[in-house]
Copies of this chain bind each other. A is one copy, B any other.
Amino acid sequence: MTELTIALDAMGGDQGPGIVVTALERALSSFTHVHFILVGDEAVLTPLLQRYPKVVASSRVSMQHASQVVAMDDKPSAVLRAKPDSSMRGVLELVHNGTAQGCVSAGNTGALMAMSYLTLKTLPGVLRPALVASLPQQDGGQSLLLDLGANPTCDAETLCQFAVMGSVMAQQVNKQAQPRVALLNMGREDLKGHDVVKHAAQLLKASTHVNYIGFVEGNDLFSSTADVIVCDGFTGNIALKSCEGLAELLYDNLRKSFSGHFFTKLVAKLLFRRHRKSWQWLNPDQYNGASLLGLRGVVMKSHGNASANAYFSAISHAIDEAAADLPSLIHDRIEDALLERVTDQRD
């Protein structure tokens, strides 16, 4: 297997670098062919690493100092000039100059998107990068939802490119041979929705590069109906966060309803332990990691308050994408799709 290097932004995220180093320790034993570069403030990392002798001893870990940290409330537009030596910028530069094949950061999403776009640039022909994440499905599988917020508005051409990029990712990462691609809409009928989504549907119907199955609705996000669900970043962001909000509410009420009597609590605990497996698919940790697709390199965004296990998931997703050389595959397919459009228009 080819040797890979993944750069980790040790400083981003709400939980501090301890989470990142704990995840790195686990990744070292799980991925024995992968090298890691930990980027962050040495004054913080050096004392911390003393608690991780395996990480320190490993020949597959190197450190790179970065004097600045992108804060969660830093303005994406300002951070590029104001913090030239941030750990976030550091990992992106390592991907840009080819030292690393992918990077992971739990920092400020807006800043990571803006900085990735400027540092790595989009692949030739790609109109806009898209943020994509996996959703658990009713049948136990996974579907991809994109865009999740990189683009507040999108034109029809951009949505079609997201469909192509999502298809490539579903094939390579989720091992789906003929991923079913759908557009997220307010109804399944052709007449439903606004002009952009209707235009995108026409373009996708004509494309041979995407297995387009039609419109799906919000309640299909988890129904195993489609493998790739495409929408603009505004819609995707609100759909995903609405579900997060509902899940929090339900969890909160479940917890409250089991917090009364001692016996009830005990029974509830035993019951949930017994059936933990059935709930495993819902464990948010394993779904942590949103990729930025369409860039000249693999960039993985971990959730800001990810646990070490969740950060480990993001690392393993980054390794999967880097191992498949996802950016090259997307490049090829986007080029083919563009060629098809040009040929169609000539005919």
Residues of A within 8 A of B (CB): 75, 110, 136, 138, 149, 152-153, 184-187, 191-194, 217-223, 231, 233-235, 237-250, 252-253, 256-258, 260, 264, 267-268, 271, 274-275, 278-279, 281-282
User: Which of A193, A249, A257 lies at the interface centre, i.e. has the most chain B CB atoms within 10 A of its CB?
Assistant: A249
- A interface, by DSSP: helix, strand, loop or mixed? helix
Minimum Cβ distance to chain B for residue A247 (Å): 7
Query: In the bound complex, what is the Cα–Cα distance between A248 and B224 (angstroms)?
Result: 13
Cα-based distance from A235 to B220 in the complex (angstroms):
15
A234 to B184 Cα, complex, angstroms: 10
How far does the Cβ of A346 sit from chain B's closest Cβ, in whole Å?
A: 33
- Chain B residue numbers with a CB within 8 Å of A231 are 238
Task: Give the contacting residue for A245; candidates B186, B221, B245, B278; CB below 8 A.
Answer: B221
B234 touches A219 (CB 8 A): no
- The answer on a CB contact under 8 Å between B246 and A221 is yes
Q: What residues on B are CB-neighbors of A187 within 8 Å?
A: 110, 149, 237
A/B interface sample: 22 pairs, CB < 8 A: A75-B191, A186-B238, A217-B238, A217-B241, A218-B241, A218-B244, A221-B246, A222-B245, A223-B245, A223-B249, A239-B239, A239-B242, A242-B243, A243-B245, A247-B250, A250-B282, A253-B278, A253-B279, A257-B275, A257-B279, A264-B271, A268-B271
Given known pairs A186-B238, A252-B138, A271-B271, the reply for A218 and B245 (CB within 8 Å) is yes
Tell whether, in the assembled complex, residue A246 and residue B234 are in contact, meaning their CB atoms are under 8 Å apart: no
